[in-house]
Amino acid sequence: MTLQDIQNIFCIGRNYAQHAKELGNEVPDTPLLFTKPTGALAFANGQTLSYPSGQGEIHHELEIVLKVGKKSNSQSVNDRVVEIALGIDLTLRDLQSKLKKKGHPWERAKGFRNSAILTPFWPLTNVDEIKQTTFSLQKNGEIIQSGNSTEMLFDFQQVLDECEQAFGLSEGDIIFTGTPEGVGPIAEGDHFTLHWGEEEKGSFYVSFTE
């Protein structure tokens, strides 16, 4: 897979109740949608990813990512979703807070370069398989986020339907499905590894530039 294989990036906010609560946000009663530009994409392939300093805290948010396949007559998630990956949705948290207070869109806090980090995708035959596996994020060897899709407020079918209705979905679109609790800031030299069960799916290092 290359970055060119991905068309649109759709994201679901506050899809785990404990994450919404840890940030002092209301738990939504319908899926909260936002997007990222494709220029935000980066791979968790062991590389060092750079971020400009002086922008306040940048928070990591571990997520399951769905990849949409070819159009079909069926809107079943099992027919439309062909692969999954793990991803990190990075957020300029201080900027996001300012934007929210002003009632402005979040994109400036969500769509910066290297803010949508992906492991390689792997095939999916049935979304029920996902429920059997816990996913986690380690920072410098310590587990800092861990979750299971059964904890989602809106399941994969609801997420798919909402994105289809709001935006329309095409082959190559990806959906970040929300993060469990445990989000926090990244720092210079941090080493992150993304895990599906016991299997490491990807990793990256953090660097800040002036």
pTM of the shown model: 0.95
CB 68 within 8 A of CB 81: yes
CA distance 92 to 109: 5
CATH number of the structural domain spanning residue 136: 3.90.850.10
Strands 199-209 and 45-52, by their bridges, are parallel
Which residue range(s) make up the domain with 31? 3-209
CA distance 203 to 193: 4
What is the per-residue pLDDT for 75?
Answer: 87
What is the per-residue pLDDT for 125?
Answer: 86
* Main-chain dihedrals φ then ψ at residue 111, nearest 5 degrees: -110, 20
Q: How many domains does the chain have?
A: 1
- Over its length of 210 residues, how does the chain's per-residue pLDDT go in tens digits? 566 689 999 999 999 988 867 777 787 899 999 999 999 999 999 999 999 899 999 999 999 999 999 888 888 999 999 999 999 999 999 999 899 889 988 899 999 999 999 999 999 989 999 999 999 999 999 999 999 999 999 999 999 999 999 999 999 999 999 999 999 999 999 999 999 999 999 999 999 997
What is the per-residue pLDDT for 100?
Answer: 85
**DSSP-based helix, strand, coil % in the chain, nearest 5:** 25, 40, 35
